[in-house]
Amino acid sequence: MKKRSILFMIFMTIITVGIYQLYWYVAFQVELKKATKEGFGGLGHIVVTFLTLFIYALYWQYAAGKRLAKQGASDFSLIYIIFCFVGLAWLNPFLMQHQANGLKK
């Protein structure tokens, strides 16, 4: 999976007023699908997210945590879903990317 700087992600999220996180959401899913052979592709992923009024995004964050764990990262899937329900979901992309950056190729 592509390594990204967390500071760059924070900077881009602020500069683009959150649009970068949408880009990251799709790009990360494409990379995760390529690595695990699970889930939707990029366009399918975003379409299902909007069609389900972002309910799929909640599930995806949990599932992404499980898929990262299958790749060798710690299993933060429960933390990701808890963060969604306590208003801290905006932290999940940074945590997911941090975990992905730590994976061995």
Alpha-carbon gap, residue 18 to 12, rounded angstroms: 8
Query: What does each C-alpha distance from 46 to 26, 54, 66, 75, 90 come to in angstroms?
Result: 7, 9, 20, 24, 17
Among 63, 45, 42, which Cα is nearest to 54's? 45
Instruction: State pTM to two decimals.
Output: 0.90
Residue 59 resides in a domain = yes
Residue 12 resides in a domain = yes
Among 8, 27, 28, which Cα is nearest to 103's? 28
3: its two tokens: 């390594």
Residue in the structure block whose two tokens are 């899937």: 77
* DSSP codes of every residue in 4-48: --HHHHHHHHHHTTTHHHHHHHHHHHHHHHHHH--S--HHHHHHH
Provide the pLDDT for residue 105: 66
Provide the pLDDT for residue 49: 87
Residue 33 resides in a domain = yes
Which structural domain range is residue 10 located in? 6-101
pLDDT by residue for the chain (105 residues), tens digit each?
899 999 999 999 999 999 999 899 999 999 999 999 988 887 888 899 889 998 998 999 999 999 999 999 999 999 999 999 999 999 999 999 999 999 986
Residue 1 resides in a domain = no
Task: Give the chain's domain count.
Answer: 1
